[in-house]
Structure 1
Amino acid sequence: MVRATGKSEAVYERLKGDIESLRLRPGAKLSEVQLGERLDASRTPVREAIRRLAREGLVDFVPGEVARVAAISLGGVRALFEFRMMLEPRAAAMVTAVGAADERVLVPFRELLARLEEFEESFRLRDAAAQARSYHDFYEVSEDFDQAVVAACRNPYLARTIRDLRSQTVRLRHLSHSGPRRMLTSLEEHRAMLKAITNGDVEAAEAACRHHLAQTLQALIESLTSQDFVIGAEVHLDTAL
């Protein structure tokens, strides 16, 4: 068995990925013993991983029970997006202003715009089954955009706060992009943000970001009210790390 120091990081990454991708559903029990058996790890690295995930808000400790994957509630989602709307439009505006003064800042955003347009062209040509399989490609572009904004933001406190919220927002992405129509709408929203940033239009960048967050929140509300997250769902993980 691998030593705990190396194993804890591997267990953490696996559990985090499964929570963010919703393979581990909200409310799923996280038994240290069961997870240890499935991941070929002792209880120490499993416990450390669960505690790290709890600090990130992805795991809840229920008194008298084992840890559970944190629930996703309408109230929690609304509160999260209310906070994001205070932060991310401002960050987009700041990055746009910085980019207008320093062309080097815009390089990753221009590359992302090209990737986005290439993805859209291929996405529209695919059938429904192929479109469903390609969602991960769009997630990568979206994640790279978010990371680029954080990297270019010159306010370290703002950048750190947005970065710390990523774990909460990543797993919601799989709910907000619940179909090809929303995927294409989100694509258009990202194009609007990228064009505003690369064109140096501060007000448009801020407005486009706020619009994207509002539309994403609405998509999440619709998705959450139409899905049933089973409390205590069984844990299904691959054993190899």
Structure 2
Amino acid sequence: MARATGKSEAVYERLKGDIESLRLKPGAKLSEVQLGEELGASRTPVREAIRRLAAEGLVDFVPGEVARVATISLGGVRALFEIRMLLEPRAAALVATSGAADERVLAPFHELLARLDEFEESFRLLDAAGQTRGYQNFYVLAERYDQAVIAACRNPYLARTIRDLRSQTVRLRHLSHSGPRRMLTSLEEHRAMLKAIAHGDAQAAESASRHHLAQTLQALIDSLASGESAAPGVEIQLDITR
């Protein structure tokens, strides 16, 4: 699908950001007229944006019906993580191997490791309200790690496939880090991945990545099953066959 420009691109980026951050809740209706009024756009760029988001799996779009933000279900989460666990540990291992041969590959990971340490030090000094506001800063660091792996992965097909899953992954991040305890645990998991890559240890990088994904999946399952997610109204579909 050709990428839109101008107003269509602006509307697309705004809606995508609102869906990924859960400001637009799963199942929410996407009225072209209402969105156009809110965003100062005609129906055409809004319609184009919705179609792009539907192609990415973020919107359920049926021609002739009102589009809705795609729901989140336990079965869908499991399916996504099955793929992620095949792809991302392998990518981390390849990046570590590349870094062992070329130290320039490792520079972004050393920098991220230092920033992670700085963030944790400041985060632990905050009160509860401050820590809640501070989650976003960790999300930024976690996203930078993911993007650094994609950029440094020298298998273009693997990198592209991981990149194509990012929208779904980013949206779920706000559920898996629904409390300070899980966020600090995730921070330690990211530190382990970063250290393994920075040391050029492919086996450790792959293992740390797989462990992080397994822990994240369990946090998501617990959040959805308990109904205590960060997104009221998230649809729960228990998949008893898996």
- Normalised by the length of structure 2, the TM-score is 0.92
Moved over 3 A (4+): none
Q: Separation in 1 of the partners of 2:101 and 2:89? A: 19
Residues 8, 46 of structure 2: 8 Å contact kept: yes
| Gaps in structure 1 of 5+ consecutive residues | 232-241
Pairs within 5 Å for 1:84-99: 84-99=84-99
Q: Give 1:76's aligned amino acid.
A: G
- The aligned counterpart of 1:55 is 55
Q: Which amino acid aligns with 1:43?
A: R
Q: Which amino acid aligns with 1:15?
A: L
Q: 2:72 touches 2:234 (CA, 8 Å); kept in 1?
A: no
Q: Within 2, Cα distance between the matches of 1:55 and 1:133?
A: 32
SS where residue 174 of structure 2 aligns? helix
Q: Quote the Cα distance in structure 2 between the aligned partners of 1:68 and 1:40.
A: 20
Change (3 A) 1:230 1:112: closer
Aligned partners of 1:62 and 1:68 also within 8 Å: no
TM-aligned CA deviation for residue 62 of structure 1: 3.9
Q: State the partner residue of 2:239.
A: none
CA distance in 2, matches of 1:230, 1:220: 12
Shift of 1:6: 1.5
Gaps of 5+ in 2: 236-242
Corresponding residue for 1:39?
39
- In the alignment, is the contact (CA less than 8 A) between 1:5 and 1:45 conserved in 2? no
| Cα distance in 1 between the residues matched to 2:123 and 2:129 | 11
Structure 1 residue 65 displacement after superposition: 2.4
Aligned to 1:184: 184
Give secondary structure in 2 for the equivalent of 1:68. strand
Q: Which amino acid aligns with 2:203?
A: E
Give the aligned partner of residue 74 of structure 1.
74
Aligned to 2:233: 229
1:235 is aligned to none
Q: How does 1:1-241 map to 2 (within 5 A)?
A: 5-62=5-62, 65-227=65-227, 228-229=232-233
Q: In the TM superposition, what whole-angstrom CA distance separates every residue of 1:62-94 from its partner, at most 9, and x where no partner exists? A: 465211000100000000000000000000000
Query: Could you report, residue by residue, the CA deviation over 1:175-211 in whole angstroms, capped at 9, with x for unpaired residues?
Result: 0000000010000000000001111111110000000
Provide the C-alpha distance between the structure 1 equivalents of 2:234 and 2:149, rounded to a whole number of angstroms.
35
Count of residues in Structure 1 that have an aligned counterpart in Structure 2: 228
Percent of counterpart pairs with the same letter? 83
Root-mean-square deviation over aligned CA pairs: 1.3
Relative to the length of structure 1, the TM-score reads 0.92
